[in-house]
Amino acid sequence: MDATGLEARHVSAYFRMRRGEPKRPGRRRRAWPKLTAVLHTHSHLILGAVTGTGPTQDSPDFAPAMRQAAALVALDTALADAGYDAEHNHRLCREELGLRRSVIALNPRNTGRRWPKTPYRRAMRRRFPRDLYHQRWHAESGFSQHKRRLGSALSARSTAAQRRELVLRVLTHNLMLLSSPGQGFQQSMARCFASAAGAATCSRSWSGTARAWSSWRSGWNAASSYGRRRRAASSL
């Protein structure tokens, strides 16, 4: 799991810096659309997504995003950075959603040099699985893929419209992966079927996911064609 920010307009912060816009001391930073997502490490499918406005704390978005993902696919392990460090997030994964492992980096601001008092966070301090945690880079790769294909700026202007556009972008991201055989998703399916533990559960989950996205694809195509007709009519 991770979160990313998108541009609210088609002018990047880097371009504004290069253009020489003066920095105004004491001025509040401009808010930006925020997407918190649970990504499958092998396929980069977005299994759960929560939209919001940044800059805000990451941890409150952990529970709704994980519940979405767990309702769609049988999960085994959750990986998250220190922004999601909280004992209740570990309990949600292990005790409520039934995950075997939850690997969340400890936030030094919460404990400093002291040992955590709660059991799951204390286990992270005692023996942190660094090799497994480093698989979290797939989230950054998935966000990079998302922005390369769909752009890093939104066209909507109001907050409500931006949240709806973020949801449509997530749907489009998954449909593009499912409609591109051999570009990540099919390989992840092969790994999924080849795993010895929980192969039947994984197979049923992914087949159900594919059917769900296929049905949503037809709705997305209808909505896209309707939008094109509306824009063509308004331009006349």
3-state secondary structure of 54: strand
Determine the pLDDT at residue 204: 42
Rounded to whole angstroms, the Cα distance separating 147 from 4 reads: 10
Whole-structure pTM value:
0.70
In the chain, where does DSSP find H-type helix?
13-19, 62-72, 87-91, 108-111, 119-126, 130-133, 137-150, 159-178, 185-194, 199-235
- Residue spans of the domains in the chain: they are 2-235
Determine the pLDDT at residue 108: 83
Question: Over 90: is that where the pLDDT of 13 sits?
Answer: no
* Digit-coded pLDDT (tens) for 189-216: 434 333 333 333 343 444 555 555 555 5
